[in-house]
Structure 1
Amino acid sequence: MYIGITSPVVIGHPAVRAPWEQDAGIDELARIAETADRLGYHHVTCSEHVAVPAHVAEERGGIYWDPLATFGYLAARTSRIRLNTRVLVLGYHHPLEIAKRYGTLDTVSGGRLVLGLGVGSLREEFELLGAPFTDRGARADEALAALRVCMSTTRPEFHGTYYDFADVHVAPSAVQERVPFWIGGRTARSLRRAVTLGDGWLPFGLTLDETESLLQKAPLPEGFEVVLSTGRPLDPLGTPESTLRDLERRRRAGATIVSATFAATSADHYREQLEALHELGSEIGVSFDPPPPRPFLDESAETV
């Protein structure tokens, strides 16, 4: 099981934002990412919301850093940690837009992109952006199929109900032969979508028992990732036994990767927590040796 980081600073959600994050910025985040990179953590994250209505922001928070800009900077400050969107809302983007923008990110980061993708649920934001809401599930399924076609080739072609393109040149494209798609959701339908159209599942808003129940009913392909979040911030310095129990419980529920938040009072304290968990992880078989990168494209070969 691998451990990644649900990045601090980049989300202003009132339920998860610690006081020290109020005055923190990109340098604090980058120093945390550098530490995680050096220690062998799997990934850092960044979520997407474009324009959150004020009354919704009171509950969900109104600060959401743009993933592309954030990861472009972090890519230059790190060398091996993966960059995981958590999640891009498919309905807000044309598949070719994602392929171009995030294919470029995969290129400049040396093949470290993991695309977390979701259908989206905030109707008000869809309406603000002029994006269709009622058929967003069907659109998302087709967008995933189209994105798989166009993510790692400069000459993509796709013909569907919502998206239709050919005779176009999109470069640069991703350097990974197959960029991992982790699909977010909280229903059996989202898990089926992840199994059939993605490489992993990012459940949210479910108890561990509910997550485990859904996983037991779904045959998972070899290499499929189940990425579970920690229900509360981990405190490996203060409560190491509880931290290990929380991680072990997620592994028993089916996690292959855990995306963790950490209790901290400052960026330096956060980095100390990363060091502490690194020392503890071997007790339950947590790996801090990053998995090998996916194969890169052969640039000399024609890709269509």
Structure 2
Amino acid sequence: MRLGINSPVVTAVPGVHSPWERTAGIEELGAVAEAADRLGFDHLTCSEHVAVPVDIARQRGGTYWDPLSTFGYLAARTRRIRFATQVLVLGYHHPLALAKRYGTLDRVSGGRLVLGLGVGSLEEEFRLLGAEFEGRGAVADDAAAALRASLSNREPAYHGEHFDYAGLVVEPHAVQARVPLWIGGRTPRSLRRAVAHGDGWVPFGLSLDRLREMLRAAELPEGFEVVLSAGRPLDPSGDADRTSEALRKVSDAGATVVSVVLSAESASHYVEQLEALAVLAGTTAATEARV
């Protein structure tokens, strides 16, 4: 089981983000990324929303840093950690636009891209962007298949129901032969979509019992990633027992990768929490750092 970080600062979800994040900027985020990279954590995340209606922002937050520009900056300050979009809404983009933009990110980061993808649920944002809300699942399926065919190819070709193209050059393109695609969602259909088109599943809003049930019912391919959240913010330096228990529970539920949110009072405290978590989890890089 590997540990990734739900990046602080880049979102401000009520009840989840810490007060220090409200005034933090790219320097604080960069310091966190450098520490996570040094300590051997698997990935950092960044979500996507273009514009959130004011009434909805009161519930799910209105701060969402753009993942492409954010990760482009962090790529220059790190060496090993991966960058996971969690998630890009497929209906907002043409697959070739994603292949060019995020293929370039894969190139400049040295092959550290993980594309987290989702169908989307915010109807107002779909309408704002001129994207079709009804039928978005079928569009997402076709877009995911098109992305798989296009991300790592200089001359991509795809012929599907919603996307059809050939005879084009997309350069630069991703340097990974197979960019990992993690599909988000909370329904059996999202898991089927992940198995059909992706390399992992990133569920949300489901109990651990429900997750176990869904995973037992699915036939997962070899190497398929199950990316689960450890739940409410962890305090590894202040409550190591609860932190260990939270990690154990998601591991027992079937996680191969766990994304964590950490409780902290400042960017420097966040780095201390990362160090405590790395020791607690026994990451290879943390062990190397102590030698």
Shorter-chain TM-score: which interval? over 0.9
| Local SS of the residue matching 1:77 | coil
Letter in 2 for 1:271: V
Q: CA deviation at 1:10?
A: 0.3
Q: Does 2:175 correspond to 1:175? A: yes
Letter in 2 for 1:150: S
Q: CA deviation at 1:56?
A: 1.0
Q: What TM-score, normalized by structure 2, do the two folds share? A: 0.97
| Local SS of the residue matching 1:85 | strand
Contact 1:42–1:288, Cα closer than 8 Å, also in 2: no
Q: Which residue pairs with 1:138 in the alignment?
A: 138
Alignment gaps of 5+ in structure 1: 291-304
Partners in 2 of 1:57 and 1:164 — Cα distance? 36
Partners in 2 of 1:156 and 1:15 — Cα distance? 43
Q: Which residue pairs with 2:115 in the alignment?
A: 115
Deviations along 1:137-174, one digit per CA (max 9) or x if unpaired, are: 00000001100111001101111111111111100000
**Sequence identity (%):** 64
Mapping of 1:1-304 within 5 angstroms?
1-282=1-282, 287-288=283-284
Partners in 2 of 1:276 and 1:255 — Cα distance? 21
Letter in 2 for 1:213: E
Partners in 2 of 1:102 and 1:63 — Cα distance? 21
Alignment gaps of 5+ in structure 2: 287-291
Partners in 2 of 1:196 and 1:166 — Cα distance? 23
> Would you identify which runs of 4 or more consecutive aligned residues in structure 1 move more than 6 Å?
none
Contact 2:143–2:163, Cα closer than 8 Å, also in 1: yes
Q: What TM-score, normalized by structure 1, do the two folds share? A: 0.93
Q: CA deviation at 1:289?
A: 5.4
Q: CA deviation at 1:213?
A: 1.0
Partners in 2 of 1:66 and 1:101 — Cα distance? 12
Q: Which residue pairs with 1:296 in the alignment?
A: none
| Local SS of the residue matching 1:255 | coil
Q: CA deviation at 1:17?
A: 1.4
Partners in 2 of 1:289 and 1:96 — Cα distance? 36
Partners in 2 of 1:256 and 1:110 — Cα distance? 23
Partners in 2 of 1:62 and 1:288 — Cα distance? 36
| Local SS of the residue matching 1:34 | helix
Contact 2:85–2:115, Cα closer than 8 Å, also in 1: yes
Return closer, same or farther for 1:288/1:192 CA change in 2, 3 Å cut-off: farther
| Local SS of the residue matching 2:133 | coil
Contact 1:48–1:66, Cα closer than 8 Å, also in 2: yes
| Local SS of the residue matching 2:149 | helix
Deviations along 1:94-145, one digit per CA (max 9) or x if unpaired, are: 0000000000000000000000000000011001111001110000000011
Contact 2:157–2:165, Cα closer than 8 Å, also in 1: yes
| Local SS of the residue matching 2:76 | helix
Q: CA deviation at 1:288?
A: 3.9
Contact 2:38–2:285, Cα closer than 8 Å, also in 1: no
Deviations along 1:168-220, one digit per CA (max 9) or x if unpaired, are: 11000000000000000001110011011100000001111111111111011
